[in-house]
Amino acid sequence: MRVLLITAPALGHREGEVLAELHRGGIEVTRGEVATLDSDEVADFDVIAGPGSMRADTGLFDRCPGLRGLVSFGSGCEGFDRPAAAARSITIATGGADRSVRDMASATIALMLALCHDLPGAIAACAQGSRRDATRVRTLEDATVGIVGFGAIGRETARRLRAWGARVLVFSRSLEAGTLADGCESVPLDRLLRTSDIVSLHAALNHGDGPIIDEASLAAMKPGALLVNTARGALVDERAVASALHSGRLGGAALDCFAFEPLPANSPLRGAPNAILTPHQIGHTQAGADAMVRTFIDNIIRVATEGTRP
């Protein structure tokens, strides 16, 4: 079996570890760049592994007729054309590890608390030698939080929110309306937007999806509501969010991911009031990284040797 490993920025210095362990497992591995996917060099590979953002569509599948599996580093696979892969019996494996799920849920709660307690305002007030406006401070305990997307991280975040005493609403295309077993309530997206004090995005970004939060959805949200996105940048219309922050329609936003990364210097989000911007690393921990790398390696070996979905 031949595996093409596409460089993933999140792997960083761990790439050598991945290559070494795959070689020890008897897997023939070739390292490549994202640009490699657009060349005829891919023709002879059985498995392609790398970032979930790498483009894997019919064009790639035509250039690589023997492809039997795609493995993403992490839980996202927004660059993969899943229907086209399924039509060709190409296995897709993603790598969200339990530890990284817990770390991301904790980080999401931290961002919510930072917004509720007006951390940006407190930091600015201290820098100016003044005091912040206490009327801006809210409590998570009294909040209605809307979770958009109910995969592993969304579920873990909801579980933790319930422990804080928050009311939790959930929207997922795979759930019917009603009360869930953990006390959360599954509702339509329009109701979630209309009634939530905090909207937190945890949805997957599939090939061809557009933003969930755009001008129309922002207009539907409660005035002064808070927005948290620790999922994927393309779920948000960044220009619309920046405008809503400037107008006060949004009370604050904590964004850990962006349409283009690193966030461009001329992004409208830079300088927007009441915004917390972090470089798509808010939930990264050493323990989580170890678990992600281990899962990535195991998934590559399993797909390469068994051809079955992990």
**What single string gives the DSSP state of each residue in 183-209?**
S-EE--HHHHHHH-SEEEE-----TT-
Tokens of 188: 């339509």
Residues with Cβ < 8 Å from 234, sequence gap 6 or more?
78, 205, 209, 210, 211, 259
Of the candidates 261, 270, 306, 309, the residue annotated as catalytic is: 261
Of the candidates 155, 167, 202, 280, the residue annotated as catalytic is: 280
pLDDT tens digits, 197-212: 999 999 987 756 789 9
Q: Where are the domains of the chain?
A: 2-94+288-306, 101-277
Selection from 32, 200, 10 nearest residue 95 by Cα: 10
Question: Would residue 261 show up in a list of annotated catalytic residues for this protein?
Answer: yes
Tokens of 41: 């060099």
d(CA 154, CA 147): 7
Which range is least confidently modeled, 94-98, 100-104, 285-289? 94-98
pLDDT tens digits, 218-236: 999 999 999 999 999 999 9
Residue 84 has pLDDT above 80, yes or no: yes
Selection from 40, 36, 27, 42 nearest residue 90 by Cα: 42
Of the candidates 102, 138, 232, 302, the residue annotated as catalytic is: 232
Check if 2-94+288-306 and 101-277 are the same fold. Answer: yes
Average pLDDT taken over every residue of the chain: 92
Question: Would residue 232 show up in a list of annotated catalytic residues for this protein?
Answer: yes
Selection from 280, 271, 212, 211 nearest residue 242 by Cα: 271
CATH superfamily of the domain spanning 101-277:
NAD(P)-binding Rossmann-like Domain (3.40.50.720)
Region 16-43 average pLDDT: 93
Question: Would residue 13 show up in a list of annotated catalytic residues for this protein?
Answer: no
DSSP reduced 3-state for 8: coil
**Topology, domain 2-94+288-306:** Rossmann fold (3.40.50)
